[in-house]
Structure 1
Amino acid sequence: METSTLRSWLKLAAADIAARCGDLVLRRTRGGDSRRNGDGEPQGTLEILRDSERRYRELFESLDVGFGIIEVVFDADHRPQDFHFLEVNPAFERQTGWRDVVGRRMREIAPDAEQYWFDVYGKVAETGEPIRFERRARTLDRWYDVYAFPFAKASCRVGVLFRDITQRKQTEHALRASEARSRLALDVAQLGTWSWRGAGNLLSADPRFRELCGFGLDEALSLEGVMAHVHADDRVVVEARVREALEPSGEGRLKTELRCVDPDGSVRWLVARGMTEFSTAGGDRRPARMLGTVMDVTARKLIEQELLRGRDELELRVRERTDALARANAALHVEIAERKTAEDKIRQLLGQLVDAQEDERRRLSRELHDTLGQHLAVLTLGLGAVRAQEGCPPHVMERLSHIEQAARRLEEEVDRLSYELRPLALDNMGLVDALRQYAADWATECGVAVDVTVLGIPVDEHLPAAVETTVYRVVQEALTNVRKHAAASQVSLIAERRGPELRVIVEDDGCGFDATSMTSPTDSGRRLGLRGMAERAALVAGSLDIESAQGHGTTVFLSVPLDVGHTHDETPHHEQTPHRAG
């Protein structure tokens, strides 16, 4: 039952009960039946009274609201102190939960009852004026809608009609709390709310909406007026979004971004959201109402614009930097190509220089061997012939003998120099015999045996001249370093051919050295020797690696690719041909 209907019903019920049954209840509660008092009333009057009592009882028990008749008790100062229950209907117990209250006092039933209830009922009894109010009964923890009225004239009796409205109060409280939370959320989010009704095309909104859309608090609102505040560039899109949201066949959702122009010309970015409620009156689905919000996103849009500008500037700088790097890269490629060309030229010149050097060594070697060596041989033979003649004085013979010995030593030194400049074995017999012969000579000179191992290289095979010369000179320099610096007791020389590559290893058990010391100026001789070995290897596209440590000897690794165009059997010879020189 709605509140207004309940109020009217309570008043009518109270008036009917008071007018028709007041005297009857008064007499009945006093025990005043006409038949028992012998007042001589006609029998018809008794029937009327019985009928009135029956109708009163039916009305009394049929009420679905609580009803009771109470009698207010005043103290000596005529202040209401208590009341006792004269009559209650069945709904009384359902509305309060109290049983058997007739004849009992309120202070007895609820000792901690609020004084308010006694005061208000005492006022009705004194003034004869009815009163209606809503109040929470603390002892019952329930809310009641109460209508109290004087029940009998010139008495302290009060009729009370009441209804438990606790659930309604809780619902109202929850609704108010929900509305407060919603309003708080709207305030925190700085949202404006609006509502549009299809009937009459009415638009209403809260102050925040008016502020965001540029309307005064008293300015009339209309959908057309709002559209007039939308930026001209956004108006067509916004109108299309609104039409889509109002389309009966659609979902009824509205979401759009727009710009509103304030009266001062400033522009504000907004996000509008809404949901349409449709009615189906007459079988047609029509938009009845749309509820929505607007949110100010101007700050976000400004940040987005700044970010976009920053991104554009960054992309421009990246493009500029990329172009600069591309130019630098192109210049670097040109520089690398030029440097590679220069290195190739240098390598070519070095190769030519080495070739010229080798040619010159070969020429000098042959000149020493063929010319000076022959002259020394003739000189030695002549000296021998002179010394063999008879009649030569003894002191002359002794002098000739010394000269002959010097000539032989000079001849041997010329042969040695001729060999070191360019061993004839390298040209006549090939790399393998040249290496073995040099190792044997080195071992004889130094007194340290050299283990020579050759794998996969036939003795009679000639490798490319540049390869043979490079390998021979590197081995020669490596053994020279061993003689000068290593103080070794054992040396090994390994030459192995693996497919298109020739590998050579020279290893000793000498004192070794710290590879980092090669940068020291005090070891310039060794540094230059090793650099020369590496440069020779690079001239034939080879590589040179050195492993050494103090007290652990030294190992030289040489790897040289063979000329692909050279005709020889590239299948490795697996037989091992060891040779110990010295």
Structure 2
Amino acid sequence: MIITSTVMLLLAAGLIVFFLLLYRERYKKHQREKVTMRASFDQELLKAEIEMKEQTLLTISQEIHDNIGQVLSLAKLNLNTILLEDNNPAVPKIAATKELIGEAIQDLRNLSRSLNTHHISHQKLSESLGFELDLIRKTGLYETALRVQGAEKPLDPQKQTIIFRIVQEALNNIIKHARAKSITISLDYTPRETTLRIADDGSGFDPQALHQPGGAGKGTGMGNISHRARLINANLTVESRPGQGTLIQLSLPTTQP
């Protein structure tokens, strides 16, 4: 009788432990599913937000090209039709005005090109980055360099556009905050991954300070970079110290065919 009771108690205890373990495992599975669903939702939300921004930029690019650019071209053409004597005092003013309009047209074309998603996604990434660096170099305020190692591989158009926007955000941060003299972008292609590095010799900063009150300036830009990096499953690292410049590195696994 005692043996039977002991066996029954052990069986009951065993069942209780079994159901507790089963409940615990199901609870863990449910929590993992919640985390996965939340991450998936955040990813889709971020993707939709970026797509809306890209569509807005594309619309602005088309407006600049089709409307403002054409109006300025017509204005320049009208100036060319004005016939004046060489000794007329208005001649140098008209010539200077035509030159200014020409510069404005070129600046607008450059801006339209940088905003145009279709153009960015169908051009080599190195060419798009080189174009951006060239615009910065022409200001005369910075020395720029683009270095490419390995055979450049075509990227998914959407990923390439996001990488390009990350670089634009980083360059904007450098211009606004870094007080740098030199900017270098490196692209390193290996069979396993593509690595992008953006380095400057500017004032640098404490990355931890971005999460503190008052760090909203650089923080917003770095937040945008971080969000975009997560969207394409890229590994993002930021190395910086006050007075020692900044290095932003983005590593993206190579998609196997």
Q: TM class by shorter-chain length?
A: 0.7 to 0.9
Instruction: Give unmatched runs, 5+ long, in structure 2.
Output: none
Q: Which residue of 2 aligns with 1:540?
A: 232
Structure-to-structure mapping, 1:440-451, within 5 angstroms: 440-445=134-139, 447-451=141-145
Give, in whole Å, the separation in 1 of the partners of 2:60 and 2:175.
25
Is 1:331 the counterpart of 2:27? The answer is yes
Q: Which residue of 2 aligns with 1:31?
A: none
Report the Cα offset of residue 424 of structure 1: 7.3
Q: Which residue of 1 aligns with 2:63?
A: 367
Give, in whole Å, the separation in 1 of the partners of 2:140 and 2:177.
12
Give, in whole Å, the separation in 1 of the partners of 2:101 and 2:185.
35
Q: Per the alignment, do residues 323 and 525 of structure 1 end up closer, same or farther by CA in structure 2, a change over 3 Å counting?
A: farther
Q: Which residue of 2 aligns with 1:478?
A: 170
Give 3-state SS (helix, strand or coil) of 1:445's partner.
coil
Is 1:384 the counterpart of 2:80? The answer is yes
Q: Per the alignment, do residues 519 and 510 of structure 1 end up closer, same or farther by CA in structure 2, a change over 3 Å counting?
A: same
Is 1:518 the counterpart of 2:210? The answer is yes
Q: Per the alignment, do residues 445 and 422 of structure 1 end up closer, same or farther by CA in structure 2, a change over 3 Å counting?
A: farther
Aligned CA-pair RMSD: 3.3
Describe the superposition over 1:33-74 as per-residue Cα deviations: whole angstroms up to 9, x where unpaired.
Answer: xxxxxxxxxxxxxxxxxxxxxxxxxxxxxxxxxxxxxxxxxx
**Which letter does structure 1 place at the counterpart of 2:145?**
D
Q: Which residue of 1 aligns with 2:219?
A: 527
Give, in whole Å, the separation in 2 of the partners of 1:331 and 1:475.
42
**Percentage identity across aligned positions?**
23
Give, in whole Å, the separation in 2 of the partners of 1:486 and 1:548.
11
Q: Which residue of 2 aligns with 1:357?
A: 53
Superposition TM-score, scaled by structure 1 size: 0.38
| Equivalent residue pairs, number | 249
Q: Which residue of 2 aligns with 1:558?
A: 250
Give, in whole Å, the separation in 2 of the partners of 1:366 and 1:327.
58
Superposition TM-score, scaled by structure 2 size: 0.80
**Which letter does structure 2 place at the counterpart of 1:534?**
S
Give, in whole Å, the separation in 2 of the partners of 1:352 and 1:425.
20
Structure-to-structure mapping, 1:105-116, within 5 angstroms: none
Structure number with higher relative contact order (C-alpha < 8 Å, ≥ 6 residues apart): 2
Q: Which has the higher helix share?
A: 2
Report the Cα offset of residue 421 of structure 1: 1.5
Q: Which residue of 2 aligns with 1:106?
A: none
Give, in whole Å, the separation in 2 of the partners of 1:439 and 1:399.
33
Is 1:452 the counterpart of 2:146? The answer is yes
**Which letter does structure 2 place at the counterpart of 1:366?**
Q
**Which letter does structure 2 place at the counterpart of 1:380?**
K
Q: Is the 8 A contact 1:506 1:557 kept in 2?
A: yes
**Which letter does structure 2 place at the counterpart of 1:414?**
L
Q: Deviation above 4 Å: which 4+ runs of structure 1?
A: 318-326, 397-406
Report the Cα offset of residue 533 of structure 1: 0.9
Report the Cα offset of residue 559 of structure 1: 0.7
Q: Which residue of 1 aligns with 2:41?
A: 345
Give, in whole Å, the separation in 2 of the partners of 1:354 and 1:445.
29
Is 1:418 the counterpart of 2:112? The answer is yes
Q: Is the 8 A contact 2:117 2:161 kept in 1?
A: no
Describe the superposition over 1:358-410 as per-residue Cα deviations: whole angstroms up to 9, x where unpaired.
Answer: 24323431331233212211211112212x2569x856x67756764554454
Q: Which residue of 2 aligns with 1:437?
A: 131
Which is higher, the Rg of structure 1 or of structure 2?
1
Give, in whole Å, the separation in 2 of the partners of 1:399 and 1:325.
87
Q: Which residue of 1 aligns with 2:183?
A: 491
Q: Per the alignment, do residues 446 and 524 of structure 1 end up closer, same or farther by CA in structure 2, a change over 3 Å counting?
A: farther
Q: Is the 8 A contact 1:423 1:434 kept in 2?
A: no
Report the Cα offset of residue 517 of structure 1: 0.8
Q: Which residue of 1 aligns with 2:200?
A: 508
Q: Per the alignment, do residues 322 and 552 of structure 1 end up closer, same or farther by CA in structure 2, a change over 3 Å counting?
A: farther
Q: Is the 8 A contact 2:121 2:160 kept in 1?
A: no
Deviates more, 1:535-544 or 1:475-484: 475-484
Q: Is the 8 A contact 1:511 1:553 kept in 2?
A: yes
Give, in whole Å, the separation in 1 of the partners of 2:145 and 2:96.
39
